[in-house]
């Protein structure tokens, strides 16, 4: 006998499957909810003061950085030199595009599992990593193993200290979470054959020289600088002009941005940038960053350009330049100088520090500490300088190995005491995005300069003040 098919009710196996599915979903959800408590303790774990016993087994020490020449130089240098001391160790510098750098590190930190042992953080990333407990507190390790007096105190603080140091100083009571890997700042690159051997000394003079050069040389733009809205490109440009014209990014003690950044000095800086400097740049340069500025210089399309020193090495390569067939010929045309001053002589602090991932295996953390101790030695810092790196130790900065390695290295040495950093706070990624998009909008005519600056100040203040906000964070 056949029964009619039941409608509206599932057969027993069907119901069982549904019940089992529902139970599994609930169980997984509960399990996942339970897993969240792991992150409740958000503070950086401490590294041992002395280096634990190192493994004799083969070990790969992994770094993460963005893809640019110093990353490749570091891998080559470390594999050539560090392995003399530790033959069982291979150094691997993993690189990601600059725009993905922050995401690549912090998404792995969020998973509490990293495929790198030494994250190379921008100085402003330290606050976010420390607050979330992603990197080791190496204060005790530094006391025991590093000669801190060998450094300019601000350089040591900028790449390792949290809470952030005051510009030019180091708080010796503050904790350290990193050590300098690569120092950097902007250099002014100028065409000696077009504007003469003597670089402009003031910002106003620089603008007038660039304007004259542009007028005298059709097809060559007066200026080339970072304007893109990715990474920190346009933000660093504005911050540099802001500093030179006597502005401040914020009052770090009261955490006040609105009314500070957009004060009279800040407005003047924005006016100079958008109304005096931007008209001297090439058409369509509103999305230029490091590579595009270098390309314009190498192709002889800019009278004066600004770029990071660590990214300027390629400018002297005849294969990449139309300015000469030898390095000497190129150097006859290109000059490198410290930034002109105006109301102040501040320059942007670039470069990065190395840190230890809190989620690396113990053997790798020990190796990472050993690498850092090795790397910060005087003779290794000089070798790093000769290999194309920018060291942070004062003795290495003053050494002939460094000063003779590139024409821009003296620029760095002369700029060390003039450096100013941005905000090193956990909210940095959002602060810099707000500034980047608004400065980029002003530079490309999408927003009036005053509105852009006021929006930056207001939106950034909103981010800093949103600590107690319950929902909708991040909008």
Partner 1 sequence: MSGPVPLTTDHPGQVASATPPAPGRSRRLSDRWLAVAFISPALLLLLAMSVFPLLWALYLSFTDYSATRGGSAHFVWFENYTAILTSAQVHLRALTTLIYVVGAVALQTVLGFAIAYLISRRTHGRGLLTTLFLVPMMLSQVVVGLFWKFMLDAQFGVINSMLGSLGLGQVEWLTRQQTALISLIVVDTWQWTPFIMLIALAGLTAVPKYLYEAASIDRASEWFRFRTITLPLVWPLLLIAVLFRAIEAFRLFDLVYILTSGGPGVSTETLSFHVYKVAFLGFNTGTASAYGILMVLIVIVLTQLYLRYLNKLKED
Q: Name the minimum Å distance from CB 292 to partner 1.
A: 9
Footprint of partner 1 on this chain (CB under 8 A)?
2, 5, 11, 13, 17, 21, 24-25, 28-29, 32-33, 36-42, 99, 102-103, 106-107, 109-110, 128, 131-134, 228-230, 282-287, 296, 301, 426-427, 429-430, 433, 437-438, 440-441, 443-447, 452, 463, 470-475
Q: Name the minimum Å distance from CB 287 to partner 1.
A: 5
Of 196 and 467, the one with the shorter C-beta distance to partner 1 is 467
Of 72 and 112, the one with the shorter C-beta distance to partner 1 is 112
Cα radius of gyration rounded to whole Å, the chain: 26
Residue 316 φ/ψ, nearest 5 degrees: -95, 5
Among 204, 225, 212, smallest CA distance to 348 is for: 225
Q: Name the minimum Å distance from CB 264 to partner 1.
A: 24
Of 36 and 173, the one with the shorter C-beta distance to partner 1 is 36
Q: Name the minimum Å distance from CB 306 to partner 1.
A: 18
Of 156 and 431, the one with the shorter C-beta distance to partner 1 is 431
Of 28 and 201, the one with the shorter C-beta distance to partner 1 is 28
Using alpha carbons only, give the angle 197, 273, 121 rounded to the nearest 5 degrees: 85
Q: Name the minimum Å distance from CB 354 to partner 1.
A: 20
Q: Name the minimum Å distance from CB 370 to partner 1.
A: 28
Direct distance between the N- and C-terminal alpha carbons of the chain, in angstroms, rounded to an integer: 65
Among 174, 75, 179, smallest CA distance to 120 is for: 179
Q: Are 65 and 71 in contact (CB under 8 A)?
A: yes
Q: Are 297 and 189 in contact (CB under 8 A)?
A: yes
Of 17 and 264, the one with the shorter C-beta distance to partner 1 is 17
Cα 217 from chain centroid?
Answer: 35
Cα 205 to Cα 212: distance, rounded to the nearest angstrom: 11
Residues paired with residue 256 on neighbouring β-strands, in sequence order: 251
Q: Name the minimum Å distance from CB 202 to partner 1.
A: 29
Cα 128 to Cα 139: distance, rounded to the nearest angstrom: 18
Cα 240 to Cα 449: distance, rounded to the nearest angstrom: 16
Among 158, 219, 220, 170, smallest CA distance to 191 is for: 220
Looking only at Cα atoms, what is the longest distance across the chain? 106
Of 381 and 440, the one with the shorter C-beta distance to partner 1 is 440
Q: Which two tokens stand for residue 351?
A: 């470069």
Of 267 and 438, the one with the shorter C-beta distance to partner 1 is 438
Length of the chain: 475
Q: Name the minimum Å distance from CB 368 to partner 1.
A: 21
């Amino acid at each position: 006998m056949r029964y009619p098919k039941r409608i509206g009710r599932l057969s027993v196996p069907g119901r069982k499957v549904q019940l089992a599915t529902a139970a599994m979903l609930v169980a997984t959800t509960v399990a996942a909810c339970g897993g969240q408590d792991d992150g409740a303790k958000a503070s950086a774990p401490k590294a041992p003061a002395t280096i634990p016993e190192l493994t004799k087994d083969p070990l790969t020490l992994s770094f993460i950085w963005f893809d640019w020449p110093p990353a490749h130089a570091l891998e080559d240098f470390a594999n050539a030199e560090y392995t003399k001391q530790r033959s069982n160790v291979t150094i691997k510098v993993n690189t990601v595009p600059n725009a993905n750098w922050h995401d690549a590190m912090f998404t792995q930190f969020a998973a509490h599992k990293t495929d790198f042992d030494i994250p190379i953080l921008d100085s402003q990333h330290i606050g976010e990593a420390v607050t979330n407990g992603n990197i080791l507190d190496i204060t005790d390790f530094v006391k025991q193993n590093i000669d801190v007096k060998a450094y300019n105190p601000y350089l040591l603080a900028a790449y390792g200290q949290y809470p952030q140091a005051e510009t030019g100083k180091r708080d010796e009571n503050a904790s350290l979470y990193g050590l300098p890997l690569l120092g950097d700042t902007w250099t002014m690159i100028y065409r000696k054959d077009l504007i003469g051997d003597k670089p402009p000394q003031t910002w106003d003079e620089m603008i007038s020289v660039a304007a004259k050069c542009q007028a005298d040389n059709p097809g060559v733009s007066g200026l080339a600088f970072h304007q893109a809205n990715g990474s920190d490109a346009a933000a660093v440009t504005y911050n540099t002009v802001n500093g030179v014209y006597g502005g401040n990014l914020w009052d770090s003690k009261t955490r006040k941005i609105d009314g500070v950044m957009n004060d009279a000095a800040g407005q003047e800086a924005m006016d100079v940038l958008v109304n005096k400097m931007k008209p001297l740049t090439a058409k369509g340069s509103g999305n230029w960053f490091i590579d595009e500025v270098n390309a314009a210089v190498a192709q002889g399309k800019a009278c004066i350009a600004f770029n990071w020193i660590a990214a300027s090495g390629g400018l002297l390569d005849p294969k990449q330049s139309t300015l000469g067939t030898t390095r000497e010929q190129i150097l006859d045309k290109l000059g490198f100088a410290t930034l002109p001053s105006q109301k102040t002589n501040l320059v942007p602090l670039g470069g990065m520090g190395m840190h230890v991932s809190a989620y690396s295996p113990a053997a790798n953390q020990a190796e990472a500490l050993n690498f850092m101790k090795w790397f910060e030695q005087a003779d290794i810092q000089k070798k790093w300088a000769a290999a194309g790196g920018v060291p942070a130790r004062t003795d290495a900065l003053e050494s002939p190995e460094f000063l003779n390695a590139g024409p821009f290295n003296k620029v760095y040495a002369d700029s060390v005491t003039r450096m100013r950093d941005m905000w090193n706070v956990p909210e940095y990624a959002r602060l810099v995005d707000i500034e980047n998009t608004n400065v980029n909008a002003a530079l490309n005519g999408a927003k009036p300069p005053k509105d852009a600056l006021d929006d930056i100040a207001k939106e950034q203040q909103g981010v800093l003040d949103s600590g107690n906000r319950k929902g909708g964070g991040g909008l």
